[in-house]
Amino acid sequence: MMATAALSSVHKAVVVVTSALLNAGVLVVALVAVTIFYAYPYRAWTLPFRNLQGPPPTSFVYGSFLTHGLSPMGMAFKPWLAKYGATLRYRSLLGTWTIVTVDPVVVGYIFNNTRQFHRQPMFNAFVERLCGKGVLCVEDADHRRQRRAVSSAFSAFNIRGMAPVLWEKSYELASVFGNLVGKGEDKNTTGTIDVHKYIQRATLDMIGLAGFNYDFESLSGNNNPMSTALFSSVRLLQTPSWIRIFSVLFPSLLDVPSKFKTMVTYTRRLLHAAGRQLVAGRKKELEAENIQVRKRTQLGMDAVSLLVKANMASDLRDDHRLSDDEVLGQIGALLLAGNETSATALAWASWHLAHRPDIQDKLRADLNSVDNDRPDVERLQGLGYLDQFVHELLRFDSPVHRVQRHCVEDTVVPLSIPVKGRDGKMMDSIRISKGSEISVAVNEINRSTAIWGPDAEEFNPERFSKAGIPLANVPSVWGNLTSFGAGPHNCLGYRFALMEIKIVLVRNFKFELDPADPVVERRVRSFTTRPVVAGRESEGIQMPVVLRAIKGD
C-alpha cells in the first residue's frame, strides 16, 4: 500500500511538472510567434512608407543589412537606386526597415531638421562610451551649445594658426617615406609600402598637436597607449560580431561584457586622464597671468586651448559654457573624427595618383609653382589644380560613404524626384514614422550623372573647371559635395581637413602601381570607407603603392 501511494505521488508530481513544462513551452512558443508576427508581417503591413519599392530581403534575420554592410562600396545601393528610384526602402535587422535616398530635397530636409532626425542611436552610444559626451554624440540643445563653443576653434582664422604643425608633420612624413624607400646616388629609388599605415600615423600626430597640443610621436614609432587603445577600439568595432551588428537596434548591447567593452572602457579612461591634465594646464596658464579672460585673449592655437579660452571668457553667457566633462568629451571626438577620415582620403589620393600619371604630373607642376616650402593657407588655396584634385578626391572617394539618421517623431517629407510606388502610382512625398532609419547615400550622390555629368564614375579633377558643372545643387557645406554633410550636424572641422589633405600631398615622391597589381576594394569599416586588398582581407586596412623618390623637387 505504501509503495503504491508513493508511486501515485511520484506520478502526480511528474504530471504536474510535465504540465508546467508544457504550459511554459506553449507560452514560449506563443511569445516567439507573437514577436515574429509583430516584427515581420505586422510591421510591414503598418509601415507608413510601405508603398516605397525596394529589394527583396536576402535573409530572414538580417534582411538586406549584410548585403550592403559587408559588400564593396557601391555594390548594393547603386543597383537598388537604378532599379527602384531615388528613394527606396529595404528590410534590415529583425524585420526593421530603412529608407535609402539620394533625393536632394529629402537629404536637405533630413540634414536641416535635427529636431526630427538624430544621429543613429548606436553611433551616439558608442562615441559616448569611448569619448564622453562631446559634440559628436549629443543632440538638440546640448548639441547646439557644444557646437557653438567647439566651432569657434575651427574658424577660418584659427585654422591658419594650426598650419605650422601640419607642415612640420608633413615633412616628417616625407622623411619617413624617404627612409623607407632608401637613399642612393641613382635619381630614382623605389619601394612598395603600405602608405595608409604611415599616413594614418601622420594624421594622428597632426590632430594631436592641432587639436590639443599633444604629440603622439606616432610617426617616430612611439606606441602611445592612448592612440593604441583608440585604434584597437575602432578596429574591434569594425570586426563583424553579433554584438556589433545587433547593437544597431539595441545600443545597450555595447555594455555586454566583452573584449570590445573592456577596450572601450580602457580607452576612455586613458583619454580622460590625459585630457584632465591638458585642460588643467591650459587653465593654469591663464590663471597664472592673473588676467581677465576675454574671447581675444592670446593662448595656444590648438583647438582645446582655444576652447578653454572661450569657455573661461568673462563675457560668455553662463548657459553657453561647457562643463569640464563636456570639454573632455571633445578630445576623443577630435581624435575619432579628425584622424580616420583624413587618413582614408589621403590613402585614396595615393591610389589615384599611382593609376593616373597624367594627373600626378599636373599636380606636381602646380605644387612646384610655389617657391616657398611652406606656403600659407591663402597661397595653397590659390593653387587651382590642387584644389580641383582635392574636390575630385572627396567627390569620388568620400571617407564617409553614407550618413545614417534616426527619426524621432512622425513627419512627412516631400520628394523632388518622384518615385513609382508598389501600387504603380507616382509618389511625391513619404511619411516617415518615429523610430525609422534613413540612409543618405553619400557615395551615390557624389557620383550621380545627374549632378556631375556622364563621366561621373571617372576620376577627373578637371571637371571642376568646366562651365555648368555641377549640373544640379545638393545640400552641402563645401564644394556641392555631401562628403562633409550639411545643416547643423555638418563636419565642423572640414576646413582643417581640407588644409591637412593639401599640405600632406608632398611633392618629392612619385606614386606608382605595385607590380603585384593588387585589387584594392572600397570596404565599409565602421563609419568610414577603407582600402582593403581583395583576397587579403585578413591583413586589414592597407594601401600598397610604389614610391619613387624624385630629386630636385
Binding-site positions for heme read: 491
Helices (H), 59-139: 65-69, 77-84, 104-112, 121-131
Q: What is the DSSP letter of 296?
A: T
**Chain-centroid distance, C-alpha 202:** 18
* β partners of residue 414: 429
Binding-site residues sit at 491
> In the Cβ-directed half-sphere of 405, how many Cα atoms lie within 13 Å?
34
Are the C-beta atoms of residues 344 and 528 closer than 8 Å to each other?
Answer: yes
Label residues 276-306 b or e (16+ Cβ within 10 Å = b): eebbeebbeebeeeeeebeeeeebbbbbbbb
Measured on CA atoms in the order 78, 79, 85, 88, is the torsion positive or negative?
negative
Question: What is 223-266 written as a DSSP string?
Answer: --HHHHHHHHHHHHHHS--HHHHHTTT-GGGGGSSSHHHHHHHH
Q: Which helix (H) or strand (E) holds 343?
A: helix 324-355
* β partners of residue 97: 91
Are the C-beta atoms of residues 272 and 328 closer than 8 Å to each other?
Answer: yes
User: Which residues, including other chains, have CB under 8 Å from residue 470's CB and lie 6 or more apart?
Assistant: 451, 452, 480
Are the C-beta atoms of residues 291 and 297 closer than 8 Å to each other?
Answer: yes
Cell numbers for 7: 508511486
Q: Which amino acid is at 345?
A: A
**Chain-centroid distance, C-alpha 76:** 19
User: How many whole angstroms separate alpha carbon 16 and alpha carbon 6?
Assistant: 15
Phi, psi of 119 (to 5 degrees): -65, 165
Burial of 164 (0-12, 13-18, 19+ CB in 10 A): middle
Cell numbers for 539: 591583413
User: How many whole angstroms separate alpha carbon 330 and alpha carbon 146?
Assistant: 9
User: How many whole angstroms separate alpha carbon 394 and alpha carbon 83?
Assistant: 26
Are the C-beta atoms of residues 284 and 129 closer than 8 Å to each other?
Answer: no
Cis peptide before 48 (omega within 30 of 0): no
User: How many whole angstroms separate alpha carbon 166 and alpha carbon 496?
Assistant: 10
Instruction: Indicate the pairing of strand 437-440 with strand 97-101.
Output: parallel
Q: Which of 322, 215, 213, 328 is nearest to 271 (CA)?
A: 328
494-504 and 384-396 are packed helices; what angle lies between their axes, rounded to 10 degrees? Answer: 110
